[in-house]
Structure 1
Amino acid sequence: MSALISTLVLGGARSGKSVFGERLVAESGLARIYLATATASDDEMSDRIAHHRARRGDGWTTIEEPLGLVDALTQHAGRGRAVLVDCLTLWLFNLMEAGRDPEVEARRLARYLGVAAGPIVLVSNEVGLGLVPETPLGRAFRDAQGRLNQTIAAAVPNVAFIAAGLPLWLKRQTGE
Structure 2
Amino acid sequence: MAIILITGGARSGKSKRAEMRTRTFPGQPVYVATAEALDAEMEARIAKHRARREADWIEREVPLDLVPALVATDGGGARLVDCLTLWLSNLLHAERNWEHEVNALAAALPSLKSPVVFVTNEVGLGIVPDNALARRYRDAAGIMNQVIAAASDEVEFVVAGLPMKLK
Please say if 1:53 is aligned against 2:17: no
Contact preservation (8 Å) 1:39, 1:45: yes
Q: TM-score, normalised by structure 1?
A: 0.93
C-alpha distance in structure 2 between counterparts of 1:148 and 1:36, whole Å: 18
Q: Distance in 2 between matches of 1:167 and 1:52?
A: 19
Q: Check if 1:135 corresponds to 2:131.
A: yes
Letter in 2 for 1:155: A
Residue 41 of structure 1 aligns with which residue? Answer: 38
2:161 maps to: 165
Q: Please tell me the residue identity of whatever aligns with 1:39.
A: E
CA shift for structure 1 position 116? 1.1
The correspondence of residues 91-102 of structure 1 with structure 2, limited to 5 A, is: 91-102=87-98
In the alignment, structure 1 segments of 5+ residues that lack a partner are 172-176
Please say if 1:6 is aligned against 2:3. yes
Partner Cα distance (2:128, 2:112) in 1: 35
Match of 2:13 among 13, 16, 24: 16
1:110, CA displacement in angstroms?
A: 0.1
Task: Report deviation, 1:5.
Answer: 1.7
Secondary structure at 1:39's aligned position in 2?
coil
**Percent of matched pairs sharing the same residue:** 51
Superposition pairs of residues 142-157 of structure 1, within 5 angstroms: 142-157=138-153
Superposed displacement of residue 101, structure 1: 1.1
The aligned length equals 167
Cα distance in structure 1, aligned partners of 2:49 and 2:70? 20
Instruction: Let me know the Cα RMSD of the aligned residues.
Output: 0.9
Q: Deviations over 1:64-114 (max 9, x none)?
A: 01000000000002x231000000010000000000111110000000112
Retained in 1: the 8 A contact 2:25–2:77?
Answer: no
Which runs of 4 or more aligned residues in structure 1 lie more than 4 Å from their structure 2 counterparts after TM superposition? Answer: none
1:36-87, Cα deviation, whole Å (9 max, x unpaired): 000000000000000000011211011001000000000002x231000000
Which of 71, 76, 86 is the equivalent residue of 2:68?
71
Q: CA deviation at 1:156?
A: 1.0
- State how far apart, in whole Å, the 2-side matches of 1:80 and 1:96 are: 30
The amino acid of 2:49's aligned partner reads H
Stretches of structure 2 lacking an aligned partner (at least 5 in a row) = none
Paired residue type of 2:48:
H
CA contact (8 A) 1:70 1:108 kept: yes
Structure 1 residue 28, shift from structure 2 partner = 1.6
